[in-house]
Amino acid sequence: MLDYIIRGGQVVTAGGVGSWDVGIQGEKIVAITETGRLTSDVGRVIDASGKVVVPGGIEPHAHVAAPIMGHAGMETAPPDQVSRAALFGGTTTIVDFAIQYPGIDIFQAIDERHGRWRGNAYADYTYHCMLLGDIPAAVMAQIPQVIEAGFPTFKIFTTNIRPNVYDRMARLGHMGAVMEEVAANNGLMVVHAEDDDIVQFLYTRLKEQGTYDWTNMHRAHTNMSEDISFRRVIRAAEWTGAAVYFVHVSAKEGVQAIREARGKGLPIYGETLHNYVSFTADDYQKSNGMKYHTYPSLKSEEDRQALWQGLLQGDLHTMATDEYCTTFALKIEGKEIDNVTGGHNGCETRMGITFTEGVAQRGMSLEQFVAITSTNAARLLGLYPRKGAIAPGSDADVVLIDPNVHKTLRMADLHISDYSIWEGWEIHGWPILTMLRGKVVVEDDRLLSELGSGQCIPRKIDPLMLTRPMC
Ligand SMILES: [Zn+2]
């Protein structure tokens, strides 16, 4: 007896796309067959004709209930709000950050996150371990056990991002040491790479020149900074044997550095953001144009096109949001390049915008759409094959996308915060039904899930992903 049959949709699997039926029992997918073949008793048949059936989206980069830079005591939106919006947008797993602040170790950082997420999530979740600044030897020594405990990804910064911030950047020596430890234990480096010398110098110079308002953000966080930093990180990865996942690639030089490294057979991967492929630094000029900002910065139209090329050709591997959900008032509060609020609320729009801009506008294959919104993140971060695939044995995290939804996106369509940089965007295709582990959690624009049903998913990365470019 099956609980569900999803019938007659265009199903996107690792083995191709076809008009198939998907059988679901309990929390798992148990069968994929030709349409009409699954005839056993079934609890419910979901008619998916005319729809695209994809694995639940995986958001690889979200800052949930995270401290807001420059606003002591304030946090980004909590797990219940973000995970609810994610389900509406077809994303079923969210990767947050467990931040190892000075004075606590990594396990304490993970426990702190458990305290925030457990019982408060609608979607499944896990966390990257974020290491800050000068990483103590005792913290370094925990890396093997942390990986063993199911958290194999470690985020570091090669910049303090803003002036007068001193606790964020991992200097090259520390970075190399973390890389050695992570590489030796089947982990993946997650790197925010910008050249701190260049960025800090440019902040100072822009201040002296009186060009310090937010519209100059890309003049502090430049293409040259991304180029040089990516290449230093790649070189350190080569020396230490580490695999690297570059977060929020923003410049054509970043794409090129990744492409070259992969050409040499190195396990180097790249993420970009759906606001980086939708907007450019020209949008900073609009009224309240700081609302488009995410660090490092929006770049030029040429860069935006290079990011799309990277996604279409496989030089970039994931579409993320850098979710950092605040109110609109807070998002536009900072008006200078050293106090603009980074990030934005995008977890709900990520899948639909990527479908619209990738599949409908640029002819991206459905397989590539699934790769960049789900499968690649699952493989890189160690969730695969439990997540990221429509395959027997995988969790029944399934999303139906209606490619015939053509409309202008309104705030009334969305379920988080009081603004979206995609308000007014013309969309072609949108998620209309979401299943999480065999339960329909969003249907007919209604949430059918209970708070607390999201689970922390343990992770383990296939070692092949860490030895050569595998997606
Ligand atoms: Zn981030």
Distance of alpha carbon 308 from alpha carbon 327, whole angstroms: 29
Distance of alpha carbon 171 from alpha carbon 177, whole angstroms: 10
pLDDT for position 344? 87
pLDDT for position 236? 98
298 Cα: distance to centroid of ligand 1 (angstroms)? 14
- pLDDT-derived band of residue 166, with 50, 70 and 90 as boundaries? confident
Q: Using a CB cutoff of 5 Å, list residues around ligand 1, an ion.
A: 322
Q: What is the pLDDT of residues 451-469, one digit of tens each?
A: 999 999 999 999 999 999 9
263 Cα: distance to centroid of ligand 1 (angstroms)? 27
192 Cα: distance to centroid of ligand 1 (angstroms)? 8
24 Cα: distance to centroid of ligand 1 (angstroms)? 35
What is the phi-psi region of residue 437: left when phi exceeds 0, alpha when psi lies from -120 to 50, beta otherwise? left
| CA Rg value for the chain | 21
- The alpha carbon dihedral of 181, 184, 187, 191 has a sign of positive
10 Cα: distance to centroid of ligand 1 (angstroms)? 34
Cα–chain-centroid distance for residue 113? 18
322 Cα: distance to centroid of ligand 1 (angstroms)? 5
384 Cα: distance to centroid of ligand 1 (angstroms)? 22
Q: What is the pLDDT of residues 221-232, one digit of tens each?
A: 999 999 999 999
pLDDT for position 272? 98
25 Cα: distance to centroid of ligand 1 (angstroms)? 36
Distance of alpha carbon 415 from alpha carbon 81, whole angstroms: 8
342 Cα: distance to centroid of ligand 1 (angstroms)? 9
324 Cα: distance to centroid of ligand 1 (angstroms)? 8
429 Cα: distance to centroid of ligand 1 (angstroms)? 27
81 Cα: distance to centroid of ligand 1 (angstroms)? 18
pLDDT for position 29? 98
Distance of alpha carbon 128 from alpha carbon 333, whole angstroms: 29
Taking residues 13-26, what's their average pLDDT?
95
- pLDDT-derived band of residue 14, with 50, 70 and 90 as boundaries? confident
φ, ψ for residue 58, nearest 5 deg = -120, 120
pLDDT at residue 352 tops 80: yes
- pLDDT-derived band of residue 70, with 50, 70 and 90 as boundaries? confident
Q: What is the pLDDT of residues 142-157, one digit of tens each?
A: 999 999 999 999 999 9
By the 10 Å C-beta count (0-12 exposed, 13-18 middle, 19+ buried), 446 is classed as exposed
pLDDT at residue 197 tops 90: yes
Taking residues 305-315, what's their average pLDDT?
98
